[in-house]
Amino acid sequence: MTNDHPAVRSKTNIPFYRDERILQIFAQVVSTVVIIGILIWAIINFFRAAEARNMTLTFGFLKDSAGFPISNPPIAYEPVMSTGRAFLVGLVNTLMVSGLGIVFAVILGTLIALARLSSNWLLSRIALIYIEFHRNIPLLVLLFIWYFVVFGMVPPVQESIIWPGPTFVNKRGVYLSWPRLTETGSIFMISIAIGLLLATIAYSMLRKRRKITGKETYYIPASLGLLIISFIVGWLLSGGTPFQIDSPYLDGFNYQGGLRLTPEFAGMFISLSMYTGAFIAEVIRGGIQAVDRGQIEAARAVGLSPLQVLSLVIMPQALRIIIPPMISQFLNLTKNSSLALAIGFQEVFSVGKIAINQAGRAVPVFAMIMITYLSLSLLTSFILNIYNRRIQFVLR
């Protein structure tokens, strides 16, 4: 009889199509069925197509000989080597162009951000024009301008442009003089590495002690001194010749020696770093401008020098804002390096593209390309997120 009470009755009588718990389960089941259904349908289609076209689904072909040439491989490579090796060459190219690109984009971006914030109207306008130009044109157009127009205008080998260095610029690329390690060079490098390690340890230990005791421990001169000592010791141990400048020289119809940047690499690298540099400049400018003006005025009022204001007050606060969008710019740059396909610089994607053209490997090759980029993205953001967390933590 108590069930006839209106309140209780209304509770039990909710129709099932309005009961949220049932609806949730229902939605869950429906979405699962739909997603799995589509996947199964696609896979069935795929197996049919695979059978009809005699496609491989395994990664066995990685051991087969690649059979296609790669121009200017950064590591030893011949067409008779395995397809896996060809991928590795592509990966090294991707890493090289994006790693160098990131370094230069940051340098360029910082300089442009500083120019943009300059009190000189002309300088700040130039920076603004640079930023607005690069942010509003497609990267591919910029790449074509650099590769086809600028590098298309350089003279042939016999009439190379000669810059100090000596550096030679011609149709076949940019030839730089480059220091190369001699036989005793490894001793020098080991010595520097040990010095760097000792200097880092000394820096952190002395700095910590200074923070605890408040006594001056001269941690900067001490660590710098260690570095200089290791440099001198290494220099002496290696007999004074750890390096040899390897200059390019004309040999017949071609330059030999030195460091050669192919037009493809140079075009890709320059356009990537100039394009991303403009975005990074805006990120840095935004971060610096976000620091409260009162902070800067207060720092000046307590007598910090302009350099101290920048390094102790502005940068630590600005970095917190700068780092996250900077990470996404680095990732963008890495992903954008795949545009190299358009100018024939052979990085992961271009190598994969050639490998696809060889009989029915489309799916495994594609899986490899995607996994490569995904793991590069995840790795980069993982490392930088750790750094980011440290910065945020220290400051709060």
Which residues contact another protein by CB under 8 A? 20, 24, 27-28, 31-32, 35, 42-43, 45-46, 48-50, 52, 55, 118-123, 126, 132-133, 135-142, 144-145, 148-149, 152-153, 335-336, 338-339, 341-342, 349, 353, 356, 362-363, 366, 369-370, 373-374, 377-378
User: CB of 362: closest distance to another protein in angstroms?
Assistant: 6
Calculate the dihedral angle through the C-alpha atoms of 144, 145, 149, 150, rounding to the nearest 10 degrees. Answer: -120
User: CB of 69: closest distance to another protein in angstroms?
Assistant: 21
User: CB of 2: closest distance to another protein in angstroms?
Assistant: 27
Nearer to another protein, 59 or 235 (CB): 59
Nearer to another protein, 95 or 259 (CB): 95
Nearer to another protein, 141 or 312 (CB): 141
Nearer to another protein, 142 or 319 (CB): 142
User: CB of 165: closest distance to another protein in angstroms?
Assistant: 24
User: CB of 18: closest distance to another protein in angstroms?
Assistant: 9
Contact assessment for residue 115 and residue 127, using Cβ atoms and an 8 Å cutoff: yes
Nearer to another protein, 129 or 250 (CB): 129
Nearer to another protein, 202 or 369 (CB): 369
Could you tell me the two tokens for 357?
């053209």
Helix or strand (DSSP H, E) at 143: helix 139-144
Nearer to another protein, 223 or 338 (CB): 338
> Is residue 178 classed as helix, strand or coil in its secondary structure?
strand
Report in angstroms the alpha-carbon separations of 37 from 24, 25, 29, 86, 367.
20, 18, 12, 37, 22
Nearer to another protein, 143 or 323 (CB): 143
User: CB of 149: closest distance to another protein in angstroms?
Assistant: 5
- Enumerate residues 6+ apart whose C-beta is below 8 A from 196: 227, 230
Cβ-in-10-Å burial (0-12, 13-18, 19+) of 245 comes to: exposed
User: CB of 182: closest distance to another protein in angstroms?
Assistant: 41
Output 362-368 pairs: Cβ under 8 A, ≥24 positions apart: 362/55, 363/46, 363/50, 363/55, 363/57, 364/56, 364/57, 364/58, 364/59, 364/61, 368/59, 368/87
Strands (E), 18-172: 161-163, 167-170
What is the identity of the amino acid at 264? Answer: E
Calculate the dihedral angle through the C-alpha atoms of 247, 250, 251, 253, rounding to the nearest 10 degrees. Answer: 140
- Enumerate residues 6+ apart whose C-beta is below 8 A from 117: 124, 285, 288, 289
User: CB of 41: closest distance to another protein in angstroms?
Assistant: 9
